[in-house]
Amino acid sequence: MTDEHLDIERLLSATERCEFVVEPEADGQRLDRFLAEKMHFASRRRLQDHIRRGAVALEGRPARPSRRLCAGEIVRIEYEKIGRDLNRPDDIELEVLFEDDVLLAIDKPSGLAAHPAGQEVARTVLTVACLQAGHRAYRRLPHRLDRETSGVLVLAKTPQAQRALSDAFSGDHVQKEYVAVVTGQLEAENGTIDRPLLREGYLSVCREHPDAKLARTDWSLEMRGERATRLALWPRTGRRHQLRAHLASIGHPILGDPLYGDAGSAPRLALHARRIELPHPRTGRALEIVAPVPDHPVFHLT
């Protein structure tokens, strides 16, 4: 992740203007293949269409998709972002839990992506935070929450804070607590799920495998219902979808989970990041930030 500001105007513009210099290793490569490697978010077919319509210039002139490149040549493209959500998200206001001159913590709502990706670039936490702060304000995410998960999300307001926070998260100097409502009833009052996780495409699965990574989740019972149980969760490692995959692996998937359980079991994913404790990026002192459990029936077992 760079220290540059997020260029909101460019992000939300209908056309992306890019310029590339052909490197020596790309000498002799087809124009369409070269652009596909540079612009991984665009399909080769879409890029071929742009080339044929004259939206791509090679040394200032139109060219065919099959044109072989020479090292040092300059390729310019005006890429139309068809299908992307580019409307300014003026209807979204982030709830601030903590803010000073280097750090911002918000209570992320369920259903809102953390950062721009794919076709979705406007309605994300990072986009909204940058728009609310001003055109050239620096904002970066040292960690993530899944789109469906609500709760504490921390943003850096300076490059120095970004580096300090990223080091804290990667160095296991951050404590996180979640609340989840799972299907069924657990007999024990607390426990630990210690099962390695293996990435399989977009999902993580509990499996003994040479490529699987150690994953551990501690849990404690908070409330029992007739058909569901509310738990406090402490992830001791930071694997992709760790809480969701771990709970599903013991036969108690989180309510409303479209990936590891039954999306129709609840109107939203019953997972909330309730608390985070981390070293302040400037002072190093422990900072605790809390996002109250949402006032939603899925969390109160009503």
Residues in contact with 43: Cβ distance below 8 Å, sequence separation at least 6, in sequence order: 36
Q: Tell me if residue 167 is catalytic.
A: no
> Which amino acid appears at position 237 of this protein?
T
Q: What φ, ψ does residue 298 adopt, rounded to 5°?
A: -65, -25
Distance CA 108, CA 124 (A): 10
> What secondary structure letter does DSSP report for 67?
P
> Which amino acid appears at position 175 of this protein?
Q
Selected catalytic residue, list 146, 172, 262, 295: 146
Distance CA 161, CA 169 (A): 12
Q: What φ, ψ does residue 56 adopt, rounded to 5°?
A: -120, 130
Distance CA 197, CA 154 (A): 25
Is the distance from CB of 34 to CB of 77 less than 8 angstroms? Answer: no
* Angle subtended at Cα 224 by Cα 222 and Cα 227, rounded to the nearest 5 degrees: 140
Q: Distance from CA of residue 65 to its chain's centroid?
A: 34
Q: What residues act catalytically?
A: 146
